[in-house]
Amino acid sequence: MSSREAILNRLRTYRQPKPSQPPQETASTTASAELNMAEKVRLFTENLHAAHAEVITATQEDWTQRLLSLWRETGVHSVIYAPNTPHGESLKSAAHEFPELQLQAYENSIESCKDALFNHIQGGFGTAMAGVAETGTLMVNTGPDEPRALSLVPPTHSLIIHAKDLYADLPEAFHQTQVESALPTNLLLISGPSKTADIQQTLAYGAHGPKRLIVVLIVTEESVRV
């Protein structure tokens, strides 16, 4: 048999269809699907911390005060937010107690606030539709009310998420939120501050996006005591 024939025979063998086998569920997948709320909160928080994100565990009643206090303590004095959302309205209502904070509503096009957004705004605030405990990932559904610029441009990015919107893994999050049935133009998956590494594998934060991520995790009083 010539070399040419040998190569062709190997290609024919490689291209023969193989019998399909049902996907096998791994032990980790099975275990992750059985996580209770407290375990999802713990795992989600641990993975965010491992990715150099900051997590504020708060209640529906005190999250604004805790986030605004953290901004003041760490020198974040100008924040852009989406006013046409429930969390945006709550933030605006509580901000009167922090006169040093400049809140700018994102109400028009990117052109109308480009200079402030790229040159003056220190933080962006938005909402995550879901969280993945297994990886500490936040799913952000961007759109006209909360454009992706809020999460991609300011050096500090703050996101709020409810513990009830945490899922064990990404497949469960996609299935339960049914986001695949109406995918947005941009669905952001955020697992920590922006980071990159050069050829020497030196990790740097904030090279192409926020260098700081603050996650406000809303839990019930019962969850706090777990």
pLDDT digits (tens, 9 = 90+) for 30-42: 445 578 999 999 9
**125: β partners:** 81, 158
Q: pLDDT digits over 115-145, tens only?
A: 888 889 999 999 999 999 999 999 998 887 7
**Continuous H helices in 74-131:** 86-94, 110-119
**Element housing 212 (H / E):** strand 212-218
| More confident: 4 or 28 | 4
**Does 22 map to a domain?**
no
> Which domain does 57 fall in, by range?
35-196+204-221
Share of the chain above pLDDT 90, in %: 50
Nearest Cα to Cα of residue 179 among 170, 168, 192, 191: 170
Count of C-beta atoms within a 10 Å radius of residue 202 = 8
Q: What is the spatial distance between Cα 34 and Cα 120, in angstroms, rounded to a whole number? A: 45
**Does 176 map to a domain?**
yes
Token pair of 131 as six digits? 């969280």
**Does 11 map to a domain?**
no
| More confident: 68 or 148 | 68
Count of C-beta atoms within a 10 Å radius of residue 163 = 18
At 7 the three-state DSSP class reads: helix
**Does 82 map to a domain?**
yes
Nearest Cα to Cα of residue 135 among 218, 203, 219, 53: 53
CATH value at residue 157:
3.40.50.10420
Token pair of 16 as six digits? 């023969």
Question: CB–CB of 170/134 below 8 Å?
Answer: yes
Nearest Cα to Cα of residue 190 among 143, 142, 155, 140: 140
**Does 13 map to a domain?**
no
Q: Rounded to a whole number, what is the largest CA-CA distance in the chain?
A: 86
**Does 57 map to a domain?**
yes
Task: Give backbone dihedrals phi and psi of 61, rounded to 5 degrees, phi first.
Answer: -85, -30
Total number of domains in the chain:
1
**Element housing 57 (H / E):** strand 54-58
* pLDDT reading at 222 higher than 80: no
Can you give the pLDDT at residue 28? 44
Q: Which residues contact 80 (CB under 8 A, 6 or more apart)?
A: 103, 104, 105, 106, 113, 116, 117, 121, 123, 124, 125, 150, 154
**Does 46 map to a domain?**
yes
Q: Which band of pLDDT confidence, cut at 50, 70 and 90, is reported for residue 226?
A: very low
**Does 79 map to a domain?**
yes
Looking at residue 149, its amino acid is: A
